[in-house]
């Protein structure tokens, strides 16, 4: 593999690799908590595909790679949902800078560690919530209930349910420590 485009090419590749975090957040949001592994794979595949596009079309203006990355991510998501559980191998194209692939692997590895630590601390923070807060958050976030459904289930007004959710998320945010969680 070669690294085309010299400094310009490397800068473009770095800008694409920097989209990995948002790409992962996109897939995690769209696929839900049961498909976290698939979300990681898809985020990785998306960034690699964007690197391939950049390598093939050296003249593309990649100062802002977001439209490319987001476009590819949406296609990958649609493809995944169409062929759920039937993964397709992504052929790596000659010309993708090896350093970009290495950076992407590093970024994925680091983010995985950060997420694991974050999930551990979130679990600790959840343990400190009141029973009502935990129950309401579980219904809203893990079971996909709406605020009005939760309100009627727990016998509280809907605005109160929203307030409890907001308060509980604030507690979790505080438990994580804003500086280390981001």
Partner 1 sequence: MIGPSPLAWPCEDPSDGGLLEGYADATLEPMRSTRFEEHLFACPGCVAELRMRQSTTVALAALEARRLAGRRWTFAALGAAAVVTLGALLWLTAPGGSADPFSLDLRGSLRGESSPRIAPAGRPLVLRLPVISPESRGRTFEVRVENAAGREVLVEPALSLGEDGSVLLRVPSGLLKPGGYSVILRERDAPAGSSAERRFKLELR
The residues that touch partner 1, with contacts defined as CB under 8 A, are 18-19, 21-23, 25-26, 28-29, 32-34, 36, 66, 69-70, 107, 110-111, 114-115, 118-119, 122-123, 126, 134, 137-138, 140-144, 146, 169, 172-173, 176, 181-182
Helix axes 36-56, 66-82, angle to 10 degrees: 130
CB of 31 to partner 1, least distance (A): 10
Alpha helices in 128-157 (DSSP H): 131-137, 147-154
Q: Which is nearer to partner 1, 36 or 99 (CB)?
A: 36
The closest alpha carbon to 172, from 121, 132, 103, 106, belongs to 121
Q: Which is nearer to partner 1, 50 or 101 (CB)?
A: 50
CB of 119 to partner 1, least distance (A): 5
Neighbours of 64 (CB within 10 A): 9
């Amino acid at each position: 593999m070669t690294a085309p485009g010299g400094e310009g090419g490397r800068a473009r590749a770095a800008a694409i690799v920097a989209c990995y975090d948002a790409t992962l957040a996109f897939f995690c949001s769209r696929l839900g908590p049961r498909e976290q592994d698939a979300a990681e794979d898809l985020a990785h595949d998306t960034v690699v595909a964007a690197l391939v596009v950049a390598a093939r079309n050296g003249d593309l203006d990649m100062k802002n790679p977001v439209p490319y990355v987001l476009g590819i991510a949406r296609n990958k998501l649609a493809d995944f949902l169409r062929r759920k559980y039937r993964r397709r191998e992504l052929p790596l194209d000659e010309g993708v800078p090896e350093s970009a692939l290495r950076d992407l692997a590093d970024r994925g590895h680091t983010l995985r560690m950060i997420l694991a630590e974050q999930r551990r601390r979130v679990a600790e923070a959840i343990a400190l919530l009141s029973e009502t807060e935990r129950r309401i958050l579980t219904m809203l976030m893990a079971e996909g209930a709406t605020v009005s459904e939760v309100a009627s289930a727990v016998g509280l007004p809907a605005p109160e349910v929203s307030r409890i959710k907001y308060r509980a998320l604030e507690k979790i945010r505080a438990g994580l420590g804003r500086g280390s969680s981001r």
